[in-house]
A and B are shown apart, each in its own frame.
Chain A
């Protein structure tokens, strides 16, 4: 499955590389669009040194980790959001007769390195914020930074597939599921101290976005949890990611098994 995925990715990449200037310019455009949220953070902090108890370096760090994770997940699985359109247009039927998993086919469709552009402002933000953080670095804290990026990416990847699978049942809801994926990516750029407590409980225990970077960051910055949740949760991100992926796999398989073509 991974071999087919990579083969298809390579095929689409070569297709995209036929127009190199267009590819580079679109990559740059993607980077600038991605940097808009960073500009928003800069404008907020131009007016106040601390917001909700967090400094600009800390929020830029949250932006960097969240956006890197989301960028990786989007690169690998972002096109699954087109499932509703494939169902409506009947092109999912064509995918089903091919000897490759439809998930792999949808995920690699239109794959373009231009989406790497999203990672430019994300990695830039990490490079800027890491030296500016006031943290006494220990081996554990150093290791936590790449670990949270990877688990965050896996978690977002699970959310992409899960929200796509919803479209098996509700074909027209793509616009609403965006509030979980893109909304989640936006939400995790900010410290949870910004939001109402019930809202934070929701994104901790229902849709576990708090594990993308918030809980691990509390460990890195050595901050108390504003909700008073146990410290063990700071290391629970892999569990949350595994749970989301299991739910996604189950939802995808169930959806696919019950899929009936729209007919001719």
Chain B
């Protein structure tokens, strides 16, 4: 299943490259803005200017894999009723879509993560992690994808109850953009807002993998960071299971 999904998601490399170009352009704009801020406050939030720029291009590279803008094909299938076919399959609904999403994430990581990092590295000095840190980062990214899937799966299942997912999508978009660190890194959020933001699941999407990449979390702290992501992933996936069961009871399919 995952292999077929992977082939499907890599079928349009030109389109993916176009997306990556757009990620690059936004990366440069955001990088210049962050540099301007770090010129005034050189060690803000424990980052130096190289960390901030690396963070910026890293987050642009992660947009695709963790699908920060939200959305899932499943919600359209629920709306149209095609989900009935999915429920008939002799596999678990959540497992089926998780396999699809992991393949999608792997495909976008391959096609879309490279260009922003390469383009950023051409113009600015970026931090490069050692092999150990890189392995930790990849593990952290995998957990981020699981958290992203957990959040979006819950949003998609809500369509069983609300029918129109556009409003819900907008709420999800705002929360994930703001609290993941995509707008500005969570390290510069002031006071209590920062504390709250760093404890929410969206922090696991972008901020935590970036911190791991930058070497801000090492030793026991690294384990804590990965544990934080794993805990949210587990909680969201379990919530997804419960909601799937509830949706199964609710759904009535009119045959014909």
Contact = CB atoms under 8 A, between A and B. Distances in A.
Interface of A: 22, 25-26, 29-30, 32-33, 36-37, 39-40, 43-44, 46-48, 50-52, 172-176, 178-179, 183, 186-187, 190, 193-196, 199
B177 interface: yes
B243 interface: no
Contacts, number: 96
B32 interface: yes
Contacts of A32: 170, 174
A173 B21 CA distance: 10
Contacts of B37: 44, 47-48, 51
Contacts of B25: 179, 183
A108 to B, nearest CB: 20
A25 B32 contact: no
Interface of B: 12, 14-15, 17-19, 21-22, 24-26, 28-29, 32-33, 35-37, 39-41, 44, 164, 166-167, 170-171, 173-174, 177-178, 183-184, 188-190
Contacts of A195: 29, 32
A52 B37 CA distance: 8
A39 B40 contact: no
Nearest to B168: A29
A143 B114 CA distance: 47
Q: Chain B interface secondary structure, helix, strand, loop or mixed?
A: helix
Contacts of A46: 188, 190
A190 B166 contact: no
Contacts of B19: 175-176
Contact of A37 (B17, B22, B183): B183
Nearest to B34: A44
B18 A172 contact: yes
Nearest to B30: A186
B11 to A, nearest CB: 12
7 contacts: A33-B170, A39-B178, A50-B40, A174-B18, A186-B29, A194-B32, A196-B32
A155 B24 CA distance: 23
Given A29-B171, A32-B174, A179-B25, A172 B12 contact: yes
